[in-house]
Structure 1
Amino acid sequence: MPWAVAGGLSGVGQAALTALEALEVRYADTFLVSGAAGGVGTVAAQLARAAGATVTGTAREENHAYLRHLGTIPVAYGNGLVDRVRELAPGGVDVALDAAGEDGLRAAVALVADRDRVGTVDACERLGARWIAGRRSAARLGVLVRLWVAGALHTHVRAA
C-alpha cells in the first residue's frame, strides 16, 4: 500500500467508518453523502454500498464520473440541491453524512426525518445533526486495510 493511501485510511477512512457505525447505515437505506468525492465521502460511500445501501453523493460536476465508478449516484452542489436529491430518491433519504460543510448539512437536515441519522464531521451541531468525531483504532484500520488489499475499497489521492 502506498504511503499516501495508508495515511489517508488512518484519518479519513476511520472517520468514515466511525460515521457509518454511529449512523447505523444498513441494507436498503438510502444514504446521502455530502462531499462524496472527498476523502471521508469516498470511503463512506463505498462502505455504505458494501452494506447494501443506495448511495447518492454531492460533488462538483467534474467528479460525477468518479462517483458513478464507485456506484454512487452523483448530484451537483448548489441551489436546488434538496429538490434534486428528492428527484433521485423519491422514496426519501434515510440517513445522511455531511463531509463538505454547512450547505450539505442544511440539505441533509431538510431531507432526513430522524436527526439521529444525520451526521457531520464538521462541528455544525446547531443545525440538529450529530457531530461525529473519528474514533481511531487498530481494529478499524485493519478492516479498512483488508478491504483495500482485497480491492473492495478504492481511494483517490489527489496530491501526495
Structure 2
Amino acid sequence: MSTQRGNVNRTRPPKHKNVTAFKNNLHDPSKKIKVLNSLEFSNVCLKCKSILEWKVKYKKYKAIKAAKTCVKCNQKSVKEAYHTMCEKCAAEDKVCPKCGKDKEDTNPDTDTPSVSVKFNELVLEKSKATNQESSDESYDRESSSEYDHDSESLISSSDCDTMAVNKRPK
C-alpha cells in the first residue's frame, strides 16, 4: 500500500501509462482553441513566456474578459491575461508586464551565458578532472599491484597466528 509506513518500494507498474501526449484540441476543436493555439507571447521575459505557453498547451489559459487595472498608472488599460501592467508602463520601465522583472535579465541576446550553460561547462570540467585522476589512480594501482605480486610470499596460517600474538598489547 502506498500509505503503509516505511513502504517505499513499489511492486507493480502504473495503472495508466501516458502513451500519447495531451492534445488541447482533441475534444474541443472550436475557434477559441484555434485562436489560443495561434497566440504568440511577446514583450514578456522568457520565464513568463514559457509559463503562458504551458497554460495554452495544457488548456489552463483563461482569456481576459474585461480590462484590468495597471499597477503603475492605475488605469484600466491591461488587456492581456495574467499581466499586471499595461504595455505602455512596461515599455517605459523596460520590465516584463507579467512579473515586473527586468527583461534584460532573461533576454537570450545578452552576452552572459545562461545558468544551464554555466552548469554544463562546470560538469564538463569536473568530469575531465575526475577522468584524469581516475586514470592516474588506475596506473598507480596497476604498478603497485605488479610490485606486490612479485615480492609477495606465501604466509602459512601458523605464521599469521604468531604475528597476531606478537601484535597484541601487553
TM bucket by the smaller chain? Answer: under 0.3
* TM-score (normalised: structure 2): 0.23
Structure with the higher fraction of residues in strand conformation: 1
Considering only CA atoms, is the larger Rg found in Structure 1 or Structure 2? 2
